[in-house]
Structure 1
Amino acid sequence: MTTKDCGHDDDDHSGGGGGFFRLIIGALLFLIFIVLFVVFLIWLILRPTKPRFILQDATIYSFNVTSPNTLTATFQVTLATRNPNQRIGVYYERVDVFASYHNQQITLPTRLPPTYQGHKDVIVWSPFLYGISVPVAPYLGMSLQEDQNSGLVYMNIKIDGRVKWKVGTWISGKYRLNVVCPAYITFGGKGNNGNNGNNGNNPGLGFNTAIKYQLASGCHVDV
């Protein structure tokens, strides 16, 4: 009898432990479900959308091939960004703008001032971009010569930054911002749709006459 009683006690303890374990698992699953539901509900209410960027224009002050593999360039670009969100603000904490040619950076990064962008707000920046005697890869030197012959240069204006989201009084952590804006610049006296060009004294890519190009180019944005 004593042996049988001990056996029943072991079964009771084992069943009780298993039930407690199942209770903990069920509570954790319920908690995970609640968290996911709250996140989904917040997303459904806020509908977060990344900012939109447009490269409005570019003024070229100099773009000179000073040697077969060296480039000197000075630009001023106008960038507009719009926050499409109705309930989310954007903090631009660190934003660098630079120009690239065939994925090679050809100007120093220009740091923009920290800015807060409210709901549906539009911000316009007009930074200067400088690159003095920037060495380029040999194959890019050949590409520049081809561009000189065609009278058209394709480059990108890029933005590398950090942003934070603001919802009410809550502010998120930092997120990486990458923006690429294509820019097609004409040279060699052909101008921009017949409205711009150099004065004919400096054919090809090398010139020092300020020329403004209206671009209105949409940008690709990754956050």
Structure 2
Amino acid sequence: MSEKVCDHHQDDRRKILRRLCGVILVAGFLLLLVILLIWAILQPKNPRFVLQDATIFSLNVTAPNVISTTVQVSINSRNPNSRVGIYYDRLTVFAAYRNQQITYYSAIPPVYQGHNDVNVWSPFIYGNNVPVAPYNGVALAQDKSDGAISLVVKISGRVRWKVGAFISGRYHLHVTCPAYIPIGNSRNTGIVVGNNAVKYQLSQTCSVNV
């Protein structure tokens, strides 16, 4: 009689284990499905950036290895997503010449960018007596004499994606904006906007990596 009772209990345990395994499999499948759906939704397009213009206040080679710069740039940022918002956190911008940074970091205030929204930032980027490689100082002076310089405006920081009430973790943002500026070119002198300040229209597309 006791053997029959034990067999009955073993059968019950097997049924419970099978049901438990079935529940775990179904729950795992549903969880995987939810993750895949969220992943599909959270495949946002990168924001798009355009360097609209640059106003040159000063760009001087004070010595072969020293450069002083004061520039204001206007940067257009657009969120191309119709369902995903973007939080921009801790953004900084600076200018580089021939792969060497020639200004300090300037901060762009944190901002939320809604669906298909556009923001325009106009930060000042500057550097006083920034040491550079001597050949870069010579090259910049020569470029100014030739009538055009090629700077690169770079933005770095972190972004978060927002879908409904869900907000993702932080992702690194790297934006590179080539700035071909015809400074000193008599055929394209730009627009004088103040004492020794000249504004150049650029409309140059930036590359974006997230």
2:164 is matched with which residue: 165, 168, 172?
Answer: 168
Instruction: Give distance in 2, aligned partners of 1:35 and 1:182.
Output: 44
Alignment check: 8 A CA contact 2:90 2:158 kept: yes
User: Deviations 1:171-218 (Å, cap 9, x if unpaired)?
Assistant: 111111100001011223435xx35288xxxxxxxxx72110000110
Alignment check: 8 A CA contact 1:81 1:122 kept: yes
Q: Share of identical aligned residues, percent? A: 54
Pair 1:81 & 2:77 matched: yes
Instruction: Give distance in 1, aligned partners of 2:156 and 2:79.
Output: 17
TM superposition outliers: structure 1 runs of 4+ over 6 Å:
none
Pair 1:58 & 2:54 matched: yes
Matches within 5 A, 1:11-160: 31=28, 34-45=30-41, 47-160=43-156
Instruction: Give distance in 2, aligned partners of 1:45 and 1:113.
Output: 28
Secondary structure in 2 matching 1:166: strand
Q: Tell me the residue number matched to 2:204.
A: 217
Alignment check: 8 A CA contact 1:47 1:85 kept: no
Pair 1:196 & 2:193 matched: no
Alignment check: 8 A CA contact 2:92 2:108 kept: yes
- Offset of 1:43 from its aligned partner? 4.1
What TM-score do you get using the length of structure 1 for normalisation? Answer: 0.76
Alignment check: 8 A CA contact 2:182 2:189 kept: no
Return the letter of the residue paired with 1:171. I
Instruction: Give distance in 2, aligned partners of 1:197 and 1:144.
Output: 22
Label 1:29 to 1:106 Cα distance change in 2 as closer, same or farther (>3 A).
farther
